[in-house]
Structure 1
Amino acid sequence: MSKDSERDPLIVWENGVKNETAILRVQRPVYQTEELNELTTYEYPSTNISGVFKKNYCLFRPKECFYNTVPILKWLPGYEFKKNFMGDVFSGITVATMHIPHGLAYGILGNLPPIVGIYMGFFPVLIYTIFGTSRHVSIGTFAIVCLMTGKTVLEYSSDEGTAVNYTPIQVATTVTFTVSVIQMIMYLFRLGIITTLLSETLVNALTCASAFHVVTTQFKDLLGLTLPRRNGLFRILYTFYDVGNLISEANVPTVVISLIFVTVIALNNEILKPILARRTKIPFPIELVAIVTGTTISYCMDIHKNYAVNIIGTVPTGLPNPDLPSFSLIPSVLLDSFIIAMVSYTVTMSLALIVAQKQHYEVNSNQELFALSCSNCFGSFFSCMPVTASLSRTMIQQGVGGATQIASTVSCSILLLVLLWIGPLFENLPRCVLASVIVVSLKSMILQFLSLKKYWTLSKWDGTVWIITFFTTIIVDIDYGLLSGVIVSLVSIFVQDQKCYTCVLGVVPNTDLYLDMELYKGAQELPGIKIFHYSGPLNFASRSVFKKNLFKKTGFDPLSLYVKTKLFTKDEVYCRCVILDFTALTYVDPSGVQILKSLDGDYRHVGVDMYICGCSSPVFEKLKKCQMYYGKNGNFTIFPTVHDAVLYSQSVANTTT
């Protein structure tokens, strides 16, 4: 059957003047989808398991697999030495000056010796340079991950004399190894998509609330207090209670030093840093200056002995001896490790995508899982906590001029000097100075609280996810905050899926355009034809909503008419055809196909044809695959467009009359 389409005005611009005299003419047959597929040689996707594996897993292509798994072999041979080397060197030096204070501070945050933070900026980074696909992310310590690891260290490490004999280092390295195993499993099964459950809203609330947890953990060092060890739920509330009880015992010199360093670092970040940013890309290393200054003052005045100010103590030289994690502890730390693995990968991948978009290159999300897994596995043998990309260091590494991971190699070289020779110079560093560095660095995370207004304005569901995640994390614990956020996110998705957009379409006169009649008053309903548009998934959860909306919008329930043993009365709208517009149908499952099959039969009983149109290829394939199992009353009549279905219905009506 052929048709000469309605004449549609085509607006043409000639010499800047609108010309509406041109006419668009289209002449082609009316197609059903199967006819169009045959004409255009449509190739159905292979359902052969080996074919799917060969397509999705490069293990069947050894050379490609090898180069994809070791990305450094791709970019290093083509490294532009003259163009990028100096930028990478300056970037590496700058990032190294940030690694030192961050490492010492966040090592303590994990309830481990400060030197552990320096280890984290050296061993895992070397591995990430080989396997990572991001050219700019700075792998190493990250406050939230160190805090989460520190919580597990407190829970499972023991004081001398207890029955359980796991040291803090053993617990930390076991967590790191378990995280690497989880990330490797996610890599092998292409499960990076799991982290999409951690939406931007959820991560924003979680990191904001976690920043408050980090601040509370620093009270003891900022005030020079000895607080009781708190494990389990409501730790932040207990910490405030303990601080309130012991505030009178605060060490005055420690409080004074904390106030001075917090004020100086904050003033630098708020006033001096923006001024320097307009003149140079290299930031003033205020954290390193603070550590050097604090160490010098402590050494000259011997404030630990004279004023009872706590210092970090012994800092070992040399590289740590490799040691195996405590494998017997893995079942106990498995849940905590899974949460850390999720947060670690989500943060790293988010930063990698942000920088890659700025610099116009691609990062491989699955390869990033492999790189993090290998980095954590290697680090677990050298006293490291789980590593993550740092926002501040990543932005500096990219902003100063770093072009590749050579910058990370330069940074590692400088940290190696610290590990071999310079480390002991920091033995007199007051712990309150490190606490000041941590607290000031968390300002941006704490101010994320202000983003609640944005999320609430844009979406009440996003605002609800943010509020529940934030307050559960603050009041109960980080693990429960993450869990509650994921649950509320899933509930919001389910509820919104039940509120799919539906409407009845009408035709714009003299066109093949079909629009929502409630919104477009110029659209007209075709006599005897109801066109129902559905947007969203059609599955076991939404099928009842789909059916309810279909009957409501089209104005009649075929089954109730059939039960009344009549077709239509004079008061009811005559309808000979119902067209289901599935151009916006995102997914259909067997339950959805079954309800369509049932509807088709109900419509046939009352003399109404049901046509389907606009299916995407996956939806069309699912319909064809499932319909053979549901009834034997014929197949669905499927068209590629609404207009094809309308013309076919009109031709059938003309033929019968």
Structure 2
Amino acid sequence: MAEAACNDPTDLEETKPLTMMSLTEEARDGSSTSKHGLVEFENRFKDPEEKTPVSATVRKFFKKKTSDCGVKSTLLGLFPISSTLRKYDVKEDLPNDLIAGLTAGVMMIPQGMAFAALSTLPPIVGLYISFFASATYALLGTGRQVSWGCIAVLSIMMGQILDKYDASVEDDNAVICQNGTVVTAITNTAANDTADDKSSDPSDPVTSRRMEVASGVTLVAALVVILASRLGLSRVASLLSNSLITGFTVGIAFHVGSSQLKEILGVSVARQSGIGAIVKTWIEILKKLPDTNVATLITSAICILAIYLVKRFINEKYKKRLRVPIPIDLVVAIIATLVTEYARLHKDYDVRVVKDVPVGLPAPKIPDLGLSSSYIGDGLIIAVVAYTQTLALTKTFGLEHNYPVDPGQEMLASGVVNVVCAIFSGYIAAGSVSRSMVQNGAGGRTQIASLVAAIMVLMVILFAGPYFYYLPKCVLSAIIMVSLRSMMLKLLTIPDMWRRSPLDCTVWVFTCAAVVILNPDLGLLASVVLSLLIVVLRTMVNPVTEAGQIDIGDSISVEIRSLRGYSAAKTTRHAKIIKIKTPIFYVNSEAFVNGVYEKTGVNPLEIRKAKKKMEEKSAKEKSSQGSYKKTNDDLGAGNGNIEEDKSLKSSNGTKLEFSGHEAKCRVIVLDAAQMAFVDLMGVQAIQMVIKEMKTVGVEVLISSLPENVIPLLKSTGFWEKHGEILFLSVDAALASLVATEQQRQAESVN
């Protein structure tokens, strides 16, 4: 142990008199250092490390995995519904699940068709997704109240992919004439009809290929998700915070609302994509305002008003009294269909309708992956968003109803669900927030409710398709517009969010703005980059802080707290406690070194510069007057008897002040309790601080090192070289100073 250069041990005792008094008593018998040194502790209590060959480790891993692969354990793990059924109470649970399932199923029908239209695919695709996603998730998912199916956010993102495909097809069909004029083989229908007006018949060749693109993207993304779940990568959702997801969904809401205005007005507008798509869409809509279809606008207004009034003033206001909310979406869809058919709105007033809706389930088919190979990256982004939203929803209900949620199983379920959807002509699905809330509010207790909802949708697919021929598309848009209300209301939470957490609010606003200004995938990518940048900046800005000790009233309890915000924290003149607040790694290693210099007021480089400057000045004065002398030792520690010029300026203008006979700091204790991890550059930075401080007579002690950083310290040689300055706690480090000083004084007396 290096000798501590502490002039007066009572300075340390002033910091926390009660605790330091007991530590001083321990120090008298020389036991404090051995008891509280980290190296001694590890040698006494750390179990010896087993050096197992890699081959043996691999065999052990696979043996453990295969031993858990019994039929019963596999079924219970792969199909969580099996555990639910074993405890299922038919009398108590079944009535609630039936009511909740029927309620969710009623919502699925119009919402599924409406959200599928957002993707520019036939409305029947939404019903396919609603059935297969709900049925599959009920078997594999751990969320008992989560309702799976078509989601507006995912649908609009899938629509972006299909827009790229449409653009590539048009480019491929362009031919060059002899005069150099580009002629497109396929007529550009965007000028007259929107992409949403393409055939709603899945058997149409163009529509069929577009469905294969969506299914192909979904299949590959789902297989990647399944593989990730088996590799234990379910924590990938941690990259997307709640603030990011919320801002993303609100930004998507602007895209969704803008895309539906043309149907509300009954005008033909080319579907826009790329950066500034919303602005382009609004410009086109404003140009087409004179062409508004009055019958379509009136129908839209009536439907929006009816749906809003019932949801806002009946379903929401009396939700505690209503066991089942009024299925106003389905009621409005049925009434509008009947009115359109018998009032001849489609034929006489040109109100657009859904037209042919196929009857029956689609045949299973592996999509042509060649069509979708260029859009796999986009599909993976959608799959991550789907999994993240579903996991957050599942965890919410798990906490509410006190049942476990397995993120790995949820990721597996998400992958398998989307594989099934892809094989049966669908695209990426996820848990719906609105329908899940309704299913939960209606009393749903288990996954059986989702099965009931799936059966109800199946009945519509098998038998009710032809009855939706005259369903106006503007009614589907009205359903979508009202469903956006809850997301738009989140804009009002921005001021409160800013007061609670400015950084989270920044991520929220940036994500929403990026999604609106750019497009969903670029906006999401930019937001993830910002979130990671904020995490990095948090480690770079003030990685250390000066701390003191607070005596909380008994002889052994002393807390270490930063001086900022804790006026009761006490410090000493010669020993400073520096709390490390972040991991020390390559990103902030330099900031860590500079932070220690700043908080302690000791910058070895500046001191050496000042020393050199003063030596040069002294040499000049000696040669001219021969009366000014100063020793190198006093200058090196800043401990000289300086009668003149007590402060000197360094080359960069920084003042270096010397307080008469006393140095500002002689001992630094680095409290590493909050240092989550350290890398090689971090170890080098700590070593640099120790080495540089030693050159100016300042001793560095390190306390409270987390267990997980010890192996790296051992492998780098830090442990062996600096083991004597490592302590279990700040108290132990300070006690060692007292013991060392008492030993030095005793030796000087003798």
TM-score by length of 2: 0.79
467 and 601 in structure 1: CA distance in 2 versus 1, 3 angstrom threshold = same
1:603 aligned residue? 693
Given that residues 250 and 490 in structure 2 are in contact (C-alpha distance below 8 angstroms), is that contact kept between their aligned partners in structure 1? yes
Distance, in Å, in 1 between the alignment partners of 2:63 and 2:146 is 27
Contact 1:611 1:637 in 2 (8 A): yes
Q: Secondary structure at the match of 1:392?
A: helix
> SS state of the match for residue 277, structure 1?
coil
Q: CA deviation at 1:463?
A: 3.1
Q: Which residue of 2 aligns with 1:13?
A: none
Q: State the shift of 1:465 in Å.
A: 2.4
Quote the Cα distance in structure 1 between the aligned partners of 2:107 and 2:564.
59
Structure 1 counterpart of 2:680, one-letter code: P
Task: State the alpha-carbon separation in 2 of the partners of residues 506 and 320 from structure 1.
Answer: 71
Counterpart in the other structure of 1:22? none
| Counterpart residue identity of residue 687, structure 2 | K
1:649 aligns with 2:737: yes
Rate the CA distance shift 1:280–1:26 in 2: closer, same or farther, 3 A: farther
2:707 to 599, 617, 631: 617
Q: Find the partner of 1:532 among 578, 590, 608.
A: 578
Higher mean alpha-carbon deviation, 60-69 vs 369-378, is at 60-69
Amino acid at match of 2:571: E
Q: Which amino acid aligns with 1:146?
A: S
Following superposition of structure 1 onto structure 2, how do residues 26-175 of structure 1 map, counting pairs within 5 Å? 30-42=35-47, 51=57, 54=61, 58=65, 61-63=68-70, 64=73, 67-157=76-166, 162=186, 167-175=209-217
Partner deviation per Cα, 1:260-284 (whole Å, 9 max, x = no partner)? 1111111111212234313123100
Greater alpha carbon shift after TM alignment, 582-591 vs 432-441: 582-591
CA 262–186 in structure 1, closer or farther in 2 if over 3 Å, else same: same
TM-score by length of 1: 0.90
Find 1:193's aligned residue among 219, 222, 235.
235
Cα deviation for residue 398 of structure 1 reads 1.3
Distance 2:80 2:229 in 1: 16
Asked if residue 262 in structure 1 is aligned to residue 304 in structure 2, the reply is yes
Alpha carbons 1:261, 1:433 under 8 Å: kept: yes
Matching of residues 369-448 of structure 1 within 5 Å: 369-448=411-490
Which of structures 1 and 2 has the larger relative contact order (alpha carbons within 8 angstroms, sep 6+)?
A: 2
Does the aligned pair in 2 maintain the 1:611–1:645 contact within 8 Å? yes
Partner Cα distance (2:665, 2:478) in 1: 75
Aligned equivalent of 1:592? 682
Q: Residue 471 and residue 641 in structure 1: after superposition, are their counterparts in 2 closer, same or farther (change >3 A)? A: same
- C-alpha spacing 1:635/1:511, structure 2 compared with 1 (3 Å): closer
- Please state how far the C-alpha of 1:390 moved relative to its aligned partner: 0.4
Residue 460 of structure 1: how far off its partner (Å): 3.2
Q: What is the rounded CA distance, in whole Å, between the counterparts of 2:604 and 2:317 in structure 1? A: 73
Partners of 1:101 and 1:291 within 8 A in 2: yes
Q: In structure 1, what is the equivalent of residue 9 of structure 2?
A: none
Equivalent residue, structure 1, for 2:597 = 551
- Picking from 266, 269, 275, the partner of 1:227 is 269
Helix, strand or coil at the partner of 2:716: helix
How far is the alpha carbon of 1:173 from its aligned partner?
0.9
Partners of 1:542 and 1:471 in 2: CA distance:
30
- Give the residue type in structure 2 aligned to 1:577: V
Output the aligned Cα RMSD: 3.0
% identity of equivalent residues: 29
Aligned twin of 2:618: none
Measured in 1, the distance between the counterparts of 2:245 and 2:460 equals: 34
Contact 1:530 1:579 in 2 (8 A): yes
Which residue of structure 1 lines up, in the alignment, with residue 649 of structure 2?
none
1:511, distance to aligned residue in structure 2 (A):
5.3
Counterpart in the other structure of 1:208 = 250
Q: From the superposition, tell whether residues 48 and 271 of structure 1 become closer, same or farther in structure 2 (CA, over 3 Å).
A: farther
Task: Output aligned runs, 1:465-504, within 5 Å.
Answer: 465-500=507-542, 502-504=544-546
Match of 1:568 in 2: 638
- Kindly state the Cα deviation for residue 61 of structure 1 after the two structures are TM-superposed: 2.7
* Equivalent-residue separation in structure 1 for 2:266 and 2:316 (angstroms): 33
1:583 to 1:344, Cα distance in 2 relative to 1, 3 A? same
Matches of 2:50 and 2:265, distance apart in 1: 65
Cα distance in 2 between the residues matched to 1:526 and 1:370: 57
Cα distance between partner residues in 2 of 1:460 and 1:207: 20
Deviations 1:526-571 (A, max 9, x none): 4643221121111111111111121222222345556745233243
Question: Aligned with 1:389: secondary structure?
Answer: strand
Q: Which has the larger radius of gyration?
A: 2
Letter in 2 for 1:593: V
**Of 684, 702, 725, which aligns to 1:637?**
725
Instruction: Please give the secondary structure, in 2, of the residue aligned with 1:323.
Output: coil
Counterpart Cα distance in 1 of 2:391 and 2:715: 37
Q: 1:154 to 1:56 in 2, by over 3 A?
A: farther
Q: How far does the alpha carbon of each residue in 1:75-107 deviate from its partner, in whole angstroms, 9 at most, with x for none? A: 322322222111111111111001111111112
Q: Is the 8 A contact 1:111 1:168 kept in 2?
A: no
Query: C-alpha offsets along residues 385-441 of structure 1, whole Å, 9 cap, x if unaligned?
Result: 110110111111111111111111111111111111122111111111111111111
